[in-house]
Amino acid sequence: MKENPYSDMDEKAYRVAYLIAGFIRHRLTEKEHDELDNWVTESDHNMQLFEDLTDENNLAANLEWMDHIQAKKSYESMQQKGAFNSVSKKIYNRRIWLAAASVIILIVGFFIYKYSTSKSGNVNDINDIVNSDTTLLKPGGNRATLTLEDGKIIDLTYAKPGVIEDVSGAHLSKAADGELVYDGNGAAANAGTFHTLSTPAGGQFQLTLPDGTKVWLNAATTIKYPVAFTGSERNVEVKGEAYFEVAKNEKQPFKALLEDSTVVTVTGTHFNIMAYQNDKDAQVTLLEGSVLVKNMNAETKLEPGTQAVIKDRDIVKKIVTNADEITGWKEGLFVFHDAPIETIMMQIERWYDAKIVFKGEIKQLFNANIRRSEPLTKVLKLLELNGYVHFKIENKTIYVLP
């Protein structure tokens, strides 16, 4: 039988220790980065352990502690007490595993860190995430304001569920789940009355228009619409990003007007519009049905799985291979497939209401699937795992470094 000084559990803990120590010193291969990424995303416990052990403040405290004790003797003492004895692969004590992993990671990390910094004399090589006040950059949530025809502004973030009073006589209410709903009653009396729903950076909201069309608004988005569709067309104006599930009505086409005068015409379909002012190109992506995208110079008809990119008044039609990357935000996800860091940080900027500053060029493309409810530090840690990018946070500014 092959001798093995470690139990299965010890081997895994030691391996994780090696990977995290390598991460701290930026010494992991691409394959090792993937291995560490898989372990970190395996559970919230692993993520918390990773965050604790790579946190700059915690690391400094741990090193100070290890300077005053004999870490190796402490480890051997725990061995003698049976803390690392082999246990069943099916059932084992998580607390023992975490204790074992923590001690080994601290030991291995300490010696690698101590050895390398003593040679270079530079303790600033650890490009860890530092945030003077993590409460400043929280993930977004259901936040929006409603502007009525008379100029009155209602903060829907704090409004209680129930009927919303409007002097124009429009019938609307905030549902128990937070959605803003119009029932379409009294349509004729409300002809020519418009409302505007706006989400801030770090906000999202859901809306049901008077014709039954459902709209999801992403962060920093505005939609202006009539409280009743009484004419031959159902027209709305959109700035930012919104996902539509249009109620079918071939006799009354639905038109979404963008700020650059592009018109998206549908009768009943599911599509996503992304048209932020600070984006170079606007995008219309079709998931179901058909739409016509038209501006003063060009037009194109989309089929499901295709996208219209509006570039300098021209319209370019593309095949969409990863629709989840387009609509993931609606499902509460950041989804990236071979995405440049600029694209990723633009989404983070809007969702966490942050300012982004690039401190160097990063050519690597990224793949990730991360819940938008995660704390910013966790999102950035996951992006850092490939070793090609690092972040530093100061107040509400995120610095992006190679």
Any idea where the domains of the chain sit in the sequence? 8-126, 141-325, 329-401
User: What is the tens place of the pLDDT at every residue in 209-246?
Assistant: 999 999 999 999 999 999 988 888 999 999 999 999 99
Other C-beta atoms closer than 10 Å to the C-beta of 400 total 21
Say what angle helices 44-54 and 30-40 make with each other, to 10 degrees: 120
Are 55 and 380 in contact by the 8 Å Cβ rule? The answer is no
User: What is the tens place of the pLDDT at every residue in 31-54?
Assistant: 777 788 778 777 766 776 777 666
CA 301 from centre of chain: 31
Q: Is 321 exposed, middle or buried (0-12, 13-18, 19+ CB in 10 A)?
A: exposed
pLDDT above 60 for 339: yes
DSSP β-bridge partners for residue 333 = 371
Q: Give the chain's length.
A: 402
Are 378 and 47 in contact by the 8 Å Cβ rule? The answer is yes
Predicted local confidence at residue 33, as pLDDT = 75
Shortest CA distance to 339 belongs to which of 286, 278, 265, 389? 389
* Mean pLDDT, range 130-155, rounded to an integer: 81
Shortest CA distance to 391 belongs to which of 138, 137, 126? 126
d(CA 38, CA 11): 17
Look over the chain and give the mean of its residue pLDDT values, rounded to a whole number: 79
Predicted local confidence at residue 331, as pLDDT = 93
Other C-beta atoms closer than 10 Å to the C-beta of 344 total 21
The topology under which CATH files domain 329-401 is: Phage tail protein beta-alpha-beta fold (3.55.50)
Global model pTM greater than 0.75: no
pLDDT above 90 for 345: yes
* Mean pLDDT, range 343-365, rounded to an integer: 93
Say what angle helices 71-80 and 94-120 make with each other, to 10 degrees: 160
DSSP secondary structure, 164-178, as one string: ---TT---EEE-TTS
Distances (CA, A) of 250 to 15, 20, 172, 267: 62, 59, 25, 5
In sequence order, the 6+-apart residues with CB closer than 8 A to the CB of 3 are none
Residue 331 carries which DSSP code?
Answer: G
Long-range Cβ contact pairs of 44-48 (< 8 A, separation 24 or more): 45/94, 45/98, 47/378, 47/381
Alpha-helical regions (H) of 309-399: 323-327, 341-351, 376-384
* CATH node for 141-325: 2.60.120.1440
DSSP β-bridge partners for residue 316 = 309
Predicted local confidence at residue 40, as pLDDT = 78
CA 1 from centre of chain: 49
pLDDT above 90 for 294: yes
pLDDT above 60 for 198: yes
Pairing of strands 234-245, 254-258: parallel
Q: Is 153 exposed, middle or buried (0-12, 13-18, 19+ CB in 10 A)?
A: exposed
Predicted local confidence at residue 143, as pLDDT = 95
Predicted local confidence at residue 94, as pLDDT = 46
